[in-house]
Amino acid sequence: AQKITQTQPGMFVQEKEAVTLDCTYDTSDPSYGLFWYKQPSSGEMIFLIYQGSYDQQNATEGRYSLNFQKARKSANLVISASQLGDSAMYFCAMREPWNRDDKIIFGKGTRLHILP
Amino acid sequence: DTAVSQTPKYLVTQMGNDKSIKCEQNLGHDTMYWYKQDSKKFLKIMFSYNNKELIINETVPNRFSPKSPDKAHLNLHINSLELGDSAVYFCASSQGPLESLRDEQFFGPGTRLTVL
């Protein structure tokens, strides 16, 4: 079974609109971390935002925020006021604790296209 | 200064050859990783090292051999290259050993390997 599921392979959004990229995860561990990374067409992987399973508040970083719904095991990325430069692949990822090999498992990604 | 660097950026080679990819990080991190990203953009961990010690060894053909001469370097050697090895290989590093799930991974720029 997939640990990280991103159900939207591709999305098209008008510039300046808000975008929500979906991510659901599967773990039985109460302690875990969730990450979002951006991969533009140039190929590099850029860390965007982190949410810990025990964090009381949803994470925010500038125009990025994470809609964390623990009971539903979802960690959707919200991008406010989208820009052309937001066009990229976006990956959701999860880390489980050290004694489980400290792996970060990535979802299959969502390709976001921002339209002018 | 580049935090995580990889060489070469592009590698084109014939089937059956042996090749190496080098990775260096100047962040003082203890843990380094190799990921493979296939043509569908799926990112999968291959290996991780913590302080020169192998921590994660996913189901990877033994033609792939990582080598960590010191904690700032993690090289990947591939023997008898096959067509299916064509992919982008990313090196990454994180603070480790894991004291916080918060530790993000810093990625190198990737090496695009094409096997002809």
The 3 state secondary structure assigned to B45-70 is EEEEEECCEEEEECCCCCCEEEEEEE
Give the distance from residue B107's alpha carbon to the nearest chain A alpha carbon, in angstroms.
Answer: 6
When CB atoms are compared, the residue of B45, B88, B109 closest to A104 is: B45
Range B64-79 average pLDDT = 94
Asked whether residue B99 carries a pLDDT value surpassing 60, the answer given is no
- The residue ranking higher by pLDDT, A77 or A100, is A77
Question: Comparing C-alpha atoms, which of B90, B93, B20 is closest to residue B51?
Answer: B93
Range B38-67 average pLDDT = 87
Range B59-86 average pLDDT = 93
- What's residue A98's pLDDT? 61
- The residue ranking higher by pLDDT, B8 or B59, is B8
Share of chain A above pLDDT 70, in %: 94
Asked whether residue A2 carries a pLDDT value surpassing 70, the answer given is no
- What's residue A102's pLDDT? 67
- What's residue A99's pLDDT? 58
- Nearest 5°: the CA angle A19, B37, B54 is 120
Give the distance from residue B79's alpha carbon to the nearest chain A alpha carbon, in angstroms.
Answer: 25
Mutate to test the interface with B, among A104, A106, A110 (most CBs of B within 10 A): A104
Interval A26-76: pLDDT, tens: 988 888 999 999 999 999 999 999 999 999 899 999 999 999 999 999 999
Q: How many helices (H) and strands (E) does chain B have?
A: 0, 11
Single-letter code of the amino acid located at B49? Y
Give the distance from residue B93's alpha carbon to the nearest chain A alpha carbon, in angstroms.
Answer: 12
Interval A6-33: pLDDT, tens: 999 999 999 999 999 999 999 888 889 9
pLDDT band at B48 (very low <50, low <70, confident <90, very high): confident
Name the residue of chain B whose CA is nearest to A6's CA. Answer: B42
Q: B68 and chain A: CB distance < 8 Å anywhere?
A: no
